[in-house]
């Protein structure tokens, strides 16, 4: 019995050693017989650098289905379906032999240093559904042959150096849901044939050199949720047909050469819209501001899901042909109950801020009316915006007193009121804004004493009260603001000496000119 057991154990050990000796050669044989494995090794040969050694497992001593970044089919033996090499700092060209992996469904090479052209042979991958080569150094044209990948749903070519036009063949890919071409050097016009991609939910040709008009045919993209066209050279008006894309959640048209009026239909039809960006940004050299004219349509108030509304530097928006205040649209925006950010700086608005502003969303944390021609007083109701973190009202023609209701803004961190015509004393209530880090009242006509209650602002780092009509002494209590980095009290009528405790504020930059 013992003898048989010993023989059995010896036989098992022998089999195990045999397997150890034979398996590597079996894997090598398997790789030699596999088109997929051969294509992967050719891909590796095309690399010039693998500084972190991510592809060390890519050798014939290991089963290629276990190689880093490789996934094989669960039922079809030794057939590669996914190649995912993400953020590995790989450098080299993309091998055209990849197209020999005929069942490939996912090709993810983003976040590396691949250079050269996108191989036109990729068009032979009829099963490919996901292509992401973003954040590399690829150049040349987008190959029209990609239309051969009829299963493609996602194409992300973001952040490369691709040039040329959008090939018409892309519009033949009827299953495409995501097309991202941003941050390249693409030129020409946006082809109207993109409207054939009726399954698209996201279209991003932003930050390129596209010219011409926004094709109204894009209105046929009824499933489109995100449209980013910012930082190009698009001109003409915003087509009304865009309002037919009723699934839209985000639109960015910033930094183009657009003109004409904002279509009223954007507010009436795009009920799912959450973010609307129309800021003027310079791409290179001098680019004129977007020339939207007329009023901001009150219909924007119908966008119940609107979260962000940016119209900065549209200098012709301040005109009102209806006889209403050019800021009357703010009343309509009180219907946007989830509004979080509102930016209408440098839009030439005139008239008064309506008292209805206090009815804006309780979620509003950023409100910017910087650099306009707004007159009248600041409404007390602004103190109802309890979530405000940043408020810009600088560079306007505001008059009257600072409303004590500001003291209710307990979350406010930045308050900019400089360069207005504000009168009266600084209300003691400002000392209740315990999170305030920046208070700028410079270049107004504020008078009276500096209230000692400002010492309650324990987070205060920047206090500018310069060029006003303040009088009396500098309150010693201000030295309790231990985080203070800049204190500007220059060009006032202050008297007395600087409190010696100021010397304890080691990071302070002090400007007095008493």
Q: Regarding the domain with residue range 34-167, which homologous superfamily does it belong to in the CATH classification?
A: Ribonuclease Inhibitor (3.80.10.10)
pLDDT tens-digit readout, 168-202: 999 999 999 999 999 999 999 999 999 999 999 99
Cα atoms found within 13 Å of the Cα of residue 33, Cβ hemisphere only = 9
pLDDT tens-digit readout, 352-387: 999 999 999 999 999 999 999 999 999 999 999 999
CB atoms within 10 A of CB 281: 15
Cα–Cα distance, 131 to 120 (Å, whole number)? 13
Q: Could you give the maximum distance between any two Cα atoms of the chain, in Å?
A: 112
pLDDT band at 291; cut points 50, 70, 90: very low
Return the pLDDT at 20.
38
Q: How many Å separate Cα 396 from the centre of its chain? A: 29
Which residues are registered as beta bridge partners of 493?
Answer: 471
Cα–Cα distance, 82 to 355 (Å, whole number)? 58
Cα–Cα distance, 291 to 259 (Å, whole number)? 4
pLDDT tens-digit readout, 411-451: 999 999 999 999 999 999 999 999 999 999 999 999 999 99
Provide the residue count of the chain. Answer: 514
Return the pLDDT at 77.
86
Asked if residues 379 and 354 have their Cβ atoms less than 8 Å apart, the reply is: yes
Cα–Cα distance, 418 to 375 (Å, whole number)? 14
Pair of tokens at residue 125: 């991958």
| pTM (predicted TM-score) | 0.75
Three-state DSSP at 129 gives coil
Asked if residues 127 and 102 have their Cβ atoms less than 8 Å apart, the reply is: yes
CB atoms within 10 A of CB 282: 12
């Amino acid at each position: 019995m013992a003898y048989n057991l010993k023989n059995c154990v010896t036989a098992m050990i022998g089999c195990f050693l045999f397997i150890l000796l034979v398996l590597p050669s079996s894997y090598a044989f398997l790789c030699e017989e596999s088109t997929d494995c051969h294509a992967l090794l050719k891909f590796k040969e095309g690399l010039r650098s693998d500084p972190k050694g991510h592809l060390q497992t890519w050798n014939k001593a290991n089963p290629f289905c276990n190689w880093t970044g490789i996934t094989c089919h669960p039922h079809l033996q030794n057939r590669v379906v996914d190649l995912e090499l993400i953020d590995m700092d790989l450098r080299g060209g993309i091998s055209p032999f990849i197209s020999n992996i005929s069942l490939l469904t996912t090709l993810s090479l983003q976040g590396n240093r691949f250079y050269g052209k996108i191989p036109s042979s990729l068009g032979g991958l009829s099963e490919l559904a996901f292509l992401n080569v973003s954040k590399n150094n690829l150049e040349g044209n987008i190959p029209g042959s990609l239309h051969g990948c009829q299963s493609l749903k996602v194409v992300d070519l973001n952040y490369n150096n691709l040039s040329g036009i959008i090939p018409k063949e892309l519009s033949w890919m009827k299953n495409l849901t995501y097309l991202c071409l941003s941050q390249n050097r693409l030129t020409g016009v946006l082809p109207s044939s993109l409207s054939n991609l009726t399954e698209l939910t996201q279209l991003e040709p932003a930050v390129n050199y596209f010219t011409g008009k926004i094709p109204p045919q894009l209105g046929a993209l009824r499933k489109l949720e995100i449209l980013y066209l910012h930082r190009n050279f698009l001109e003409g008006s915003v087509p009304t047909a865009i309002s037919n894309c009723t699934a839209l959640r985000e639109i960015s048209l910033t930094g183009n050469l657009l003109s004409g009026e904002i279509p009223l239909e954007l507010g009436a039809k795009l009920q799912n819209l959450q973010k609307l960006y129309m800021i003027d940004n310079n791409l290179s050299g001098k680019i004129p501001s977007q020339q939207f004219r007329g009023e901001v349509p009150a219909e924007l108030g119908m966008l119940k899901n609107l979260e962000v509304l940016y119209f900065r530097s549209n200098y012709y928006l301040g005109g009102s042909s209806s006889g209403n205040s050019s800021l009357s649209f703010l009343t309509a925006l009180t219907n946007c109950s989830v509004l979080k950010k509102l930016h209408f700086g440098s839009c030439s608005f005139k008239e008064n801020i309506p008292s209805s502003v206090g009815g804006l969303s309780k979620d509003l944390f950023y409100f910017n009316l910087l650099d306009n021609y707004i007159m009248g007083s600041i409404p007390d109701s602004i103190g109802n915006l309890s979530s405000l973190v940043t408020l810009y009202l600088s560079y306007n023609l505001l008059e009257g007193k600072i409303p004590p209701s500001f003291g209710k803004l307990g979350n406010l961190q930045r308050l900019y009121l400089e360069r207005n015509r504000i009168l009266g004393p600084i209300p003691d209530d400002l000392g209740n804004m315990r999170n305030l880090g920046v208070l700028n009242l410079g270049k107004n006509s504020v008078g009276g004493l500096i209230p000692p209650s400002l010492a309650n602002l324990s987070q205060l780092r920047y206090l500018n009260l310069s060029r006003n009509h303040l009088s009396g002494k500098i309150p010693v209590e201000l030295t309790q603001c231990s985080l203070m980095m800049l204190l500007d009290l220059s060009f006032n009528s202050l008297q007395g000496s600087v409190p010696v405790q100021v010397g304890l504020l080691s990071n302070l930059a002090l400007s007095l000119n008493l």
